[in-house]
Amino acid sequence: MSLWNWLNEIFKYLGWFKKSGKIVFLGLDNAGKTTLLKRLKDDKLFQSSPTSHPTSEELILDDLYLTAYDLGGHKQVRKVWKEYLPVVDAIIFIIDVCDSERFNEARIELDALIADEQLLNCPILILGNKIDKKNALGEFDIRKIFNLYGRTTGQEKNKKTRPIELFMCSIKKREGYGDGLRWISQYF
Ligand SMILES: Nc1nc2c(ncn2[C@@H]2O[C@H](COP(=O)(O)OP(=O)(O)OP(=O)(O)O)[C@@H](O)[C@H]2O)c(=O)[nH]1
Ligand SMILES: [Mg+2]
């Protein structure tokens, strides 16, 4: 364990962080999960290879201390997702908004998470990633394709229903995901 991790353990013990929890990054392969994790950890744009084994990082977002799990999105490794679901406090589901050929596949995975009984109270932040690219679909279309109209809870805090919301972003250009993370951190 690095010195920084030791310090954070001490801060955590002293109650420095008001909140802590576990979060998992899900989504199809190539969506941008590892890129986001590395960006949040080191503020670097990291050229990652596809994730074949789950990894985790400790992240600090304001007063929230997070253990973040990055699971691979390839079909063969998606089966490990369900092992993590019972232990997580929140989910970030990343969609590549340029990959229209795979929207259907992504929607099936997202729908399965939304319908999962273990996750009925688990907040889901959906990130529509790669808006910097020319062929990116807009928020309106993404909400329509992913059946989100009437299913999301609004970008304001809403305690009455299970929180699900979409934020469009470019992890590469550091746009949009900060609002999404602030939104989900209210629910820890
Ligand atoms: N243009 C653009 N490219 C991005 C963005 N975010 C990620 N990428 C690229 O998308 C590719 C896939 O990113 P990864 O983070 O490895 O994807 P992943 O979701 O971890 O994929 P798996 O590990 O296979 O499940 C990489 O080439 C990234 O550089 C973005 O906001 N804009
Ligand atoms: Mg990855």
Q: Which residues contact 137 (CB under 8 A, 6 or more apart)?
A: 97, 98, 100, 128, 145
pLDDT band at residue 10 under the 50/70/90 scheme: confident
Q: Is 136 annotated as a binding residue?
A: no
Give the closest residue to 164 by CA, choosing from 122, 105, 130.
Answer: 122
Q: CA-to-CA distance for 59 and 123, rounded, in angstroms?
A: 18
18-185 maps to CATH 3.40.50.300: yes
Rounded to the nearest angstrom, the distance between the alpha carbon of 10 and the centre of ligand 1 is 34
Question: Beta strand 90-96 with 124-129: parallel, antiparallel or unpaired?
Answer: parallel
pLDDT tens for residues 26-81? 999 999 999 999 999 988 776 778 999 999 999 988 888 899 999 999 999 999 99
Rounded to the nearest angstrom, the distance between the alpha carbon of 48 and the centre of ligand 2 is 7
Q: Is 32 annotated as a binding residue?
A: yes
pLDDT tens for residues 130-172? 999 999 999 999 999 999 998 888 887 766 778 999 999 999 9
pLDDT band at residue 13 under the 50/70/90 scheme: low
In b/e form, how buried is each residue of 121-134, taking b as 16+ CB within 10 angstroms?
Answer: ebbbbbbbbbbeee
Is the pLDDT assigned to residue 15 strictly greater than 70? no
Amino acid 46: pLDDT = 67
Measured from the Cβ of residue 176, the count of other Cβ atoms closer than 10 Å reads 17
